[in-house]
Amino acid sequence: MPSDNTADGRSALTEEQAEALLDGICFKTGPPRTVGVELEWLVHDRHHPEQPLSAERRTSAYDAIRSLPLTSALTFEPGGQLELSSQPAASLTECVTTVTADLEAVRTQLRAADLTLAGYGQDPWHHPERMLHAPRYDAMEAYFDRYGGTGRTMMRTTASVQVCLDAGHEEPGPLGHGRRWQLAHLLGAVLVAAFANSPMRRGRATGWRSTRQAVWTKLDPARTGAPDIDRDPREAWTAYALDAPVMCVRTDEGPWAVQDGLTFREWIRRGLPRPPDRTDLEYHLTTLFPPVRPRGHLELRMIDAQPGENGWIVPLAVTTALFDDPAAAETVYRAVKPLAETAGPLPAPGNLLWLNAARHGMADPELRATAATCFETALEALPRIGADRSVQDAVADFAERYVLRGRCPADDVSTSEPEKDPTP
């Protein structure tokens, strides 16, 4: 019989307790009030971005950035990617303003080291050594090595724009607040296509507009796919999380034991190699990477990092407008619903719709037409949610340059002309 306590005396988690925790902590419903964004960036040489950086050069620059008084949380990814995670903002304008100020501070510090932030979903040239060697990343790399080199590519060379939105009202009917949950998944493929920006790897074209999204399709589908979006969101996510494989079992001293096929539900029932507790469940949730991850709010994870200093503002603005303006949400829901009916069932990202989005971007005629409707709807909604003229203009310019012409940022990426820091 498994013990009622973990090795350090904490209470072992029962299956019923795990279900209750997942039900309570992953969906916090109510009227949409806040918005946030998590921005991952590659870091390149300002003048020669195609040349690799030494770990020593990165470390020196990052040590200086850590001393900056930022509003956003600053973290670093295993390959040296820099991430800024905003605080929940009361409006789109507040979110854009605070993150823009933080980015300017970071860029100023990086310029002193002749470095720059680069917005690509997949590093076009480099595959650096792993910089972070904490037990988490050692275990993650070992786990994903079962899928070949794809896991290392994801950990070291990819970057994204992750939009964070409130889960929304609890609605009547069998889906509860599932309409907003469904919208996030159905709109997700359109966001992949419109903002695809990773057509290269190691200096060569890959044949995908979003190589980053292609990378995710090759990893463990039990932790990168989506729950059943036609079920109640709480029930679907609870089942998904408990039936997902455990990546590792943590110990006070490393290395952490990498698991092979043990689901969290089975871990609870067996109590081996030790009984899991609440902190183990909370950690397990951080090792799940679906395209939409409920963390109290909804975290949309499918958008490639964007080019230019302010390219990230467009996916943030478009997504916020389509979710938080009621009229826009209804219009876009009707626009994206037929996509799932023609492409087959989720889970994403491995179904036909998401694969077409990653491979073809806006060259796919169905995705292009739907994206055009989404951008038109967002442009109508942005003034209603208080977006200033500069944000509206950025979205309009993106729509004209890319969406209406059947193009995406990936179509601008050239193997011969790497993007350089425009600042003198």
352-383 burial, b at 16+ Cβ within 10 Å, e below that, comes to: ebbbbbbbbbbbbebbbebbbbbbbbbbebbe
- What does the pLDDT read at residue 28? 79
The dihedral through the CA atoms of 25, 137, 116, 208 has a sign that is negative
Looking at residue 173, its pLDDT comes to: 40
Give the chain's residues under pLDDT 50. 1-3, 172-176, 416-417, 422-424
**Token pair recorded at residue 135:** 């037990």
25-74, pLDDT tens digit by residue? Answer: 888 777 778 999 999 999 999 999 999 999 899 999 999 999 999 999 99
* Cα 352 from Cα 354, distance rounded (Å): 6
Q: Provide the pLDDT for residue 172.
A: 41
- pLDDT at residue number 415: 52
Structure tokens at 94: 């507040």
Query: What pLDDT sits at residue 38?
Result: 98
CATH for the stretch 15-407: 3.30.590.20
Q: How far apart are CA 336 and CA 367, in angstroms?
A: 9
Domain boundaries, the chain: 15-407
pLDDT at 29: 74
Nearest to 301 by CA among 311, 312, 293: 293
Which residues make Cβ contacts (< 8 Å) with residue 115, sequence separation at least 6? 43, 44, 45, 46, 53, 57, 61
Determine the pLDDT at residue 176. Answer: 42
pTM of the model: 0.93
Residue 61: the pLDDT is 97
Dump pLDDT digits (tens) for 136-161. 999 999 999 998 999 999 999 999 99
Looking at residue 211, its pLDDT comes to 97
